[in-house]
């Protein structure tokens, strides 16, 4: 764990997030500045800065979790599509330097935008519960 890393410190260490699911290697949680309602992040539980440094086993586990969650998030949010992505480096809009994958539901009637929305912890928990209820129905 890197104490300077907000994901290591707050999500993995203090569990200060609306957590969706986790296993020994990866954890998923609501993005606190979502692009769309239901925007989640999937991260390895070990600190890696980016795709260039992430261990292959952690990489695979993060992506397996993102793949599993994508249809669940779509169903829970009523989305029409899904963006799965990740950024590497400041100029690529990586803000937190802990490897992570974005799972972002998309809606046909809304203009495609990468603008972040303000939200509350209560709203994140509400959406997390909806996604978790769908997750429980498929596992």
Strand order, beta sheet including 101-106: 19-22, 26-30, 40-44, 101-106, 81-85
Query: Taking the alpha carbons of 77, 35, 84, 126 in that order, is the dihedral positive or negative?
Result: negative
Q: Which helix (H) or strand (E) holds 102?
A: strand 101-106
List, in sequence order, every residue forming a beta bridge with 42; answer none if it has no partner: 28, 101
- CB atoms under 10 Å from CB of 32, counted, come to 19
State the pLDDT at residue 114. 67
Dist CA 64 CA 49 (whole Å): 19
Closest CA to 83 of 133, 128, 20, 41: 41
For 5-56, how does the pLDDT look when each residue is reduced to its tens digit (9 = 90+)?
A: 999 999 999 999 999 999 999 999 999 999 999 999 999 999 999 999 999 9
Instruction: Specify the range with the lowest mean pLDDT, choosing from 81-85, 92-96, 130-134.
Output: 130-134
State the pLDDT at residue 132. 83
Is 136's pLDDT higher than 80? no
The length of the chain is 139
Give the confidence band of 77 by pLDDT, cuts at 50, 70, 90: very high
Average pLDDT, the chain: 92
CATH node for 6-138: 3.30.428.10
Is 100's pLDDT higher than 70? yes
The mean pLDDT of 108-124, rounded to a whole number, is 81
* Total-model pTM: 0.86
State the pLDDT at residue 74. 96
């Amino acid at each position: 764990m890197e104490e300077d890393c907000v994901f290591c410190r707050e999500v993995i260490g203090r569990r200060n997030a609306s957590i969706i699911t986790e296993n020994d290697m990866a954890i998923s949680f609501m993005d606190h500045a979502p692009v769309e309602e239901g925007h989640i992040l999937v991260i390895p539980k070990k600190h890696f800065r980016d795709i260039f440094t992430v261990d292959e086993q952690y990489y695979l586990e993060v992506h397996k979790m993102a793949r599993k969650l994508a249809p669940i998030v779509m169903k829970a949010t009523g989305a029409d599509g899904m963006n799965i992505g990740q950024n590497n480096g400041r100029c690529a809009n990586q803000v937190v330097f802990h490897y992570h994958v974005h799972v972002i539901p998309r809606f046909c009637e809304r203009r495609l935008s990468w603008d972040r929305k303000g939200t509350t912890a209560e709203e994140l928990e509400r959406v997390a519960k909806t996604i978790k209820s769908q997750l429980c129905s498929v596992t």
